[in-house]
Protein backbone atom coordinates (compact mmCIF):
# COMPACT_ATOMS: atom_id res chain seq x y z
CA UNK A 1 0.00 0.00 0.00
CA UNK A 2 1.18 3.51 -0.80
CA UNK A 3 1.32 6.23 1.84
CA UNK A 4 -1.70 8.56 1.86
CA UNK A 5 -1.34 12.35 2.03
CA UNK A 6 -3.89 15.14 1.90
CA UNK A 7 -3.73 18.30 -0.19
CA UNK A 8 -4.21 21.03 2.41
CA UNK A 9 -6.17 23.16 -0.06
CA UNK A 10 -9.11 20.94 0.82
CA UNK A 11 -8.97 22.07 4.47
CA UNK A 12 -7.85 25.63 3.75
CA UNK A 13 -10.38 27.36 6.01
CA UNK A 14 -9.37 25.24 8.99
CA UNK A 15 -5.68 25.78 8.20
CA UNK A 16 -6.23 29.52 8.06
CA UNK A 17 -7.90 29.55 11.48
CA UNK A 18 -5.73 27.04 13.34
CA UNK A 19 -2.90 25.48 11.33
CA UNK A 20 -1.29 23.56 14.19
CA UNK A 21 -4.57 22.20 15.50
CA UNK A 22 -5.71 21.26 11.99
CA UNK A 23 -2.48 19.40 11.28
CA UNK A 24 -3.00 17.54 14.54
CA UNK A 25 -6.47 16.46 13.46
CA UNK A 26 -5.12 15.40 10.05
CA UNK A 27 -2.54 13.19 11.77
CA UNK A 28 -5.19 11.72 14.09
CA UNK A 29 -7.25 10.73 11.04
CA UNK A 30 -4.37 8.57 9.85
CA UNK A 31 -2.90 10.64 7.04
CA UNK A 32 0.81 10.06 6.60
CA UNK A 33 1.68 13.18 4.67
CA UNK A 34 0.54 16.61 3.54
CA UNK A 35 0.83 18.54 0.30
CA UNK A 36 1.22 22.25 0.90
CA UNK A 37 -0.60 25.18 -0.65
CA UNK A 38 1.20 27.79 1.44
CA UNK A 39 2.34 27.87 5.03
CA UNK A 40 -0.79 29.24 6.74
CA UNK A 41 1.13 32.01 8.47
CA UNK A 42 3.89 29.76 9.81
CA UNK A 43 7.54 29.90 8.82
CA UNK A 44 8.66 26.87 6.77
CA UNK A 45 10.92 25.56 9.55
CA UNK A 46 8.12 25.93 12.08
CA UNK A 47 5.67 24.18 9.77
CA UNK A 48 8.09 21.26 9.40
CA UNK A 49 8.66 21.12 13.14
CA UNK A 50 4.91 20.77 13.74
CA UNK A 51 4.58 18.09 11.04
CA UNK A 52 7.60 16.19 12.35
CA UNK A 53 6.12 16.15 15.85
CA UNK A 54 2.93 14.64 14.43
CA UNK A 55 4.61 12.10 12.16
CA UNK A 56 3.44 13.88 9.02
CA UNK A 57 5.69 14.04 5.95
CA UNK A 58 5.61 17.18 3.81
CA UNK A 59 5.77 15.32 0.51
CA UNK A 60 4.96 18.06 -2.02
CA UNK A 61 3.63 21.57 -2.51
CA UNK A 62 1.44 23.39 -5.02
CA UNK A 63 1.65 26.88 -6.43
CA UNK A 64 1.04 28.84 -9.61
CA UNK A 65 3.54 29.01 -12.46
CA UNK A 66 4.77 32.54 -11.76
CA UNK A 67 6.15 31.51 -8.37
CA UNK A 68 8.10 28.68 -10.01
CA UNK A 69 9.78 30.80 -12.68
CA UNK A 70 10.09 34.13 -10.83
CA UNK A 71 10.99 32.95 -7.32
CA UNK A 72 12.87 29.73 -8.00
CA UNK A 73 15.50 30.35 -5.33
CA UNK A 74 12.85 30.99 -2.69
CA UNK A 75 11.00 27.86 -3.79
CA UNK A 76 14.16 25.79 -3.42
CA UNK A 77 14.93 27.30 -0.02
CA UNK A 78 11.42 26.60 1.26
CA UNK A 79 11.21 23.06 -0.08
CA UNK A 80 14.67 22.29 1.29
CA UNK A 81 13.63 23.66 4.69
CA UNK A 82 10.58 21.38 4.85
CA UNK A 83 12.23 18.37 3.21
CA UNK A 84 9.87 18.16 0.23
CA UNK A 85 11.04 16.16 -2.76
CA UNK A 86 8.32 17.43 -5.13
CA UNK A 87 6.79 20.74 -6.17
CA UNK A 88 3.80 20.92 -8.50
CA UNK A 89 2.53 23.65 -10.80
CA UNK A 90 -1.14 23.79 -9.89
CA UNK A 91 -2.42 25.18 -13.22
CA UNK A 92 -1.45 27.14 -16.33
CA UNK A 93 -3.37 30.22 -17.48
CA UNK A 94 -4.35 30.40 -21.13
CA UNK A 95 -1.44 32.61 -22.19
CA UNK A 96 1.11 30.09 -20.85
CA UNK A 97 -0.53 27.01 -22.36
CA UNK A 98 0.63 25.51 -25.66
CA UNK A 99 -0.42 27.92 -28.38
CA UNK A 100 -0.78 30.81 -25.92
CA UNK A 101 0.78 34.21 -26.48
CA UNK A 102 3.46 33.70 -23.81
CA UNK A 103 3.94 29.96 -24.09
CA UNK A 104 7.37 29.98 -25.71
CA UNK A 105 8.93 32.55 -23.40
CA UNK A 106 7.37 30.90 -20.34
CA UNK A 107 8.69 27.49 -21.37
CA UNK A 108 12.25 28.80 -21.57
CA UNK A 109 11.96 30.25 -18.07
CA UNK A 110 10.39 27.05 -16.81
CA UNK A 111 13.22 24.96 -18.27
CA UNK A 112 15.78 27.04 -16.38
CA UNK A 113 13.77 26.79 -13.16
CA UNK A 114 13.27 23.04 -13.50
CA UNK A 115 16.99 22.47 -14.06
CA UNK A 116 17.87 24.52 -10.98
CA UNK A 117 15.26 22.62 -8.96
CA UNK A 118 16.62 19.28 -10.12
CA UNK A 119 20.14 20.31 -9.12
CA UNK A 120 18.74 20.99 -5.64
CA UNK A 121 17.03 17.59 -5.49
CA UNK A 122 13.48 18.81 -6.17
CA UNK A 123 11.37 17.33 -8.97
CA UNK A 124 8.94 19.62 -10.77
CA UNK A 125 5.45 18.19 -11.32
CA UNK A 126 2.39 19.36 -13.27
CA UNK A 127 -1.12 18.98 -11.87
CA UNK A 128 -3.73 18.59 -14.59
CA UNK A 129 -7.29 19.77 -14.87
CA UNK A 130 -9.81 18.82 -17.55
CA UNK A 131 -8.60 21.59 -19.88
CA UNK A 132 -5.39 19.67 -20.57
CA UNK A 133 -7.56 17.13 -22.39
CA UNK A 134 -8.40 19.66 -25.09
CA UNK A 135 -6.80 18.59 -28.37
CA UNK A 136 -3.69 20.49 -29.43
CA UNK A 137 -2.04 19.55 -32.72
CA UNK A 138 -3.95 16.28 -32.76
CA UNK A 139 -3.08 15.19 -29.20
CA UNK A 140 -4.11 16.13 -25.71
CA UNK A 141 -2.58 19.39 -24.57
CA UNK A 142 -1.28 17.55 -21.49
CA UNK A 143 1.25 15.68 -23.62
CA UNK A 144 2.60 18.92 -25.09
CA UNK A 145 3.04 20.40 -21.62
CA UNK A 146 4.86 17.34 -20.31
CA UNK A 147 7.05 17.09 -23.40
CA UNK A 148 7.94 20.79 -23.43
CA UNK A 149 10.86 20.09 -21.09
CA UNK A 150 13.41 17.41 -21.88
CA UNK A 151 14.78 14.55 -19.77
CA UNK A 152 11.88 14.28 -17.34
CA UNK A 153 12.40 17.79 -15.99
CA UNK A 154 8.63 17.89 -15.50
CA UNK A 155 6.50 14.88 -14.58
CA UNK A 156 2.74 14.56 -14.16
CA UNK A 157 0.87 14.70 -10.90
CA UNK A 158 -2.27 13.15 -12.35
CA UNK A 159 -5.60 14.27 -10.91
CA UNK A 160 -8.01 11.37 -11.37
CA UNK A 161 -11.18 13.47 -11.19
CA UNK A 162 -10.17 15.73 -14.05
CA UNK A 163 -8.93 12.77 -16.09
CA UNK A 164 -12.46 11.38 -15.86
CA UNK A 165 -14.15 14.70 -16.57
CA UNK A 166 -11.74 15.14 -19.48
CA UNK A 167 -13.19 11.98 -21.03
CA UNK A 168 -10.67 9.28 -20.11
CA UNK A 169 -10.83 6.26 -17.80
CA UNK A 170 -8.54 7.25 -14.89
CA UNK A 171 -7.32 3.71 -14.21
CA UNK A 172 -6.31 3.11 -17.81
CA UNK A 173 -4.88 6.60 -18.29
CA UNK A 174 -2.63 6.23 -15.27
CA UNK A 175 -1.11 3.14 -16.88
CA UNK A 176 0.18 5.28 -19.75
CA UNK A 177 2.63 6.84 -17.28
CA UNK A 178 4.33 3.77 -15.85
CA UNK A 179 7.27 4.85 -13.62
CA UNK A 180 6.60 8.46 -14.69
CA UNK A 181 3.92 9.62 -12.23
CA UNK A 182 5.23 9.73 -8.67
CA UNK A 183 2.17 11.42 -7.16
CA UNK A 184 -1.49 10.62 -7.90
CA UNK A 185 -4.37 12.82 -6.76
CA UNK A 186 -7.37 10.89 -5.52
CA UNK A 187 -10.47 12.97 -6.09
CA UNK A 188 -14.04 11.71 -6.13
CA UNK A 189 -17.02 13.58 -7.55
CA UNK A 190 -20.70 13.34 -8.30
CA UNK A 191 -23.04 14.54 -10.99
CA UNK A 192 -26.40 13.35 -12.30
CA UNK A 193 -25.51 14.19 -15.90
CA UNK A 194 -22.25 15.14 -17.55
CA UNK A 195 -22.37 18.86 -18.38
CA UNK A 196 -19.75 21.14 -19.81
CA UNK A 197 -18.97 24.21 -17.68
CA UNK A 198 -20.89 27.39 -18.38
CA UNK A 199 -19.27 30.65 -19.54
CA UNK A 200 -18.14 31.35 -15.97
CA UNK A 201 -16.48 27.96 -15.60
CA UNK A 202 -19.23 26.66 -13.31
CA UNK A 203 -20.32 23.07 -13.90
CA UNK A 204 -24.02 22.56 -13.11
CA UNK A 205 -24.93 19.67 -10.84
CA UNK A 206 -21.33 18.80 -10.00
CA UNK A 207 -19.55 18.48 -6.68
CA UNK A 208 -16.37 16.98 -5.33
CA UNK A 209 -16.98 14.35 -2.66
CA UNK A 210 -15.03 12.38 -0.06
CA UNK A 211 -13.18 9.39 -1.46
CA UNK A 212 -15.55 6.46 -1.96
CA UNK A 213 -18.71 8.61 -1.98
CA UNK A 214 -18.80 9.49 -5.67
CA UNK A 215 -18.60 8.00 -9.14
CA UNK A 216 -14.94 7.03 -9.29
CA UNK A 217 -13.70 3.43 -9.33
CA UNK A 218 -11.36 4.10 -6.44
CA UNK A 219 -10.21 0.49 -5.89
CA UNK A 220 -9.19 0.36 -9.54
CA UNK A 221 -7.44 3.73 -9.34
CA UNK A 222 -5.55 2.69 -6.22
CA UNK A 223 -4.45 -0.56 -7.85
CA UNK A 224 -3.28 1.33 -10.95
CA UNK A 225 -1.36 3.82 -8.80
CA UNK A 226 0.56 0.96 -7.22
CA UNK A 227 1.09 -0.73 -10.59
CA UNK A 228 2.70 2.33 -12.19
CA UNK A 229 5.10 2.80 -9.27
CA UNK A 230 3.61 5.95 -7.74
CA UNK A 231 5.18 6.97 -4.44
CA UNK A 232 2.19 8.78 -2.93
CA UNK A 233 -1.55 9.06 -3.31
CA UNK A 234 -3.02 12.39 -2.23
CA UNK A 235 -6.61 12.99 -1.16
CA UNK A 236 -7.90 16.24 -2.64
CA UNK A 237 -11.43 17.61 -2.29
CA UNK A 238 -11.87 21.06 -3.78
CA UNK A 239 -14.94 21.93 -1.74
CA UNK A 240 -16.86 20.15 1.05
CA UNK A 241 -20.11 18.35 0.27
CA UNK A 242 -22.70 15.94 1.70
CA UNK A 243 -23.73 18.61 4.18
CA UNK A 244 -20.56 18.34 6.28
CA UNK A 245 -17.48 20.53 6.66
CA UNK A 246 -14.05 20.18 5.14
CA UNK A 247 -12.44 18.35 8.08
CA UNK A 248 -15.29 15.87 8.26
CA UNK A 249 -14.91 15.27 4.52
CA UNK A 250 -11.21 14.63 5.10
CA UNK A 251 -12.08 12.13 7.83
CA UNK A 252 -14.65 10.35 5.64
CA UNK A 253 -12.05 9.98 2.88
CA UNK A 254 -9.41 8.58 5.21
CA UNK A 255 -11.85 6.22 6.96
CA UNK A 256 -13.02 4.84 3.61
CA UNK A 257 -9.44 4.22 2.51
CA UNK A 258 -8.59 2.56 5.83
CA UNK A 259 -11.61 0.29 5.48
CA UNK A 260 -10.17 -0.78 2.12
CA UNK A 261 -6.86 -1.56 3.77
CA UNK A 262 -5.06 1.69 2.91
185-232 residue pLDDT tens: 999 999 866 666 677 766 677 899 999 999 999 999 999 999 999 999
Closest-CA residue to 187 (of 119, 257, 136): 257
Distance (Å, rounded) from C-alpha 191 to C-alpha 203?
9
In this model, does residue 247 exceed pLDDT 80?
Answer: yes
Which of 59-68, 92-101, 110-119, 189-198 shows the lowest per-residue confidence on average (mean pLDDT)?
189-198
What confidence tens digit (pLDDT) does each residue in 103-151 have?
999 999 999 999 999 999 999 999 999 999 999 999 999 999 999 999 9
| Residue 60, pLDDT above cutoff 70 | yes
The confidence score (pLDDT) of residue 197 equals 66
Which of the listed CATH numbers 3.30.750.200, 3.20.20.150, 3.50.50.100, 3.40.50.300 matches domain 4-259? 3.20.20.150
Q: What is the pLDDT of residue 205?
A: 78
Mean pLDDT throughout 234-258?
Answer: 98
> What is the structure's pLDDT at 99?
96
pLDDT computed for residue 191 by the predictor = 86
Helix, coil or strand: residue 200: coil
Q: Tell me what the mean pLDDT of segment 86-92 comes to.
A: 98
- Per domain, the residue ranges of the chain are 4-259
* pLDDT band, residue 172 (cuts 50/70/90): very high
Helices (H) and strands (E) in the chain, counts: 11, 12
Angle, helices 19-29/246-259, rounded to nearest 10 degrees: 20
* CA distance from start to end of the chain: 6
Contact 69, 45 (CB under 8 A): no
Tell me how far apart the alpha carbons of residues 162 and 160 are, in angstroms, rounded to a whole number.
6
Residues 6+ apart with CB under 8 A from 157: 60, 86, 88, 125, 126, 127, 128, 181, 182, 183, 184, 185
When pLDDT is averaged across residues 163-168 and rounded to a whole number, the result is: 95
Of 168, 76, 162, 61, the C-alpha closest to 118 is 76
Mean pLDDT (whole number) for 65-83: 98
Amino acid sequence: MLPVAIQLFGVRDAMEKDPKGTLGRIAEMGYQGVELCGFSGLEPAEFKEVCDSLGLRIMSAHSGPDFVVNETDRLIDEMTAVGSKYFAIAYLPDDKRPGGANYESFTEKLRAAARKMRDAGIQLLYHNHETEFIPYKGRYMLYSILESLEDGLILPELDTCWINIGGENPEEFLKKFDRRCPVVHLKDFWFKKRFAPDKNGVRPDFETRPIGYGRQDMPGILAASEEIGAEWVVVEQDNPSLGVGELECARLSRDWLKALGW
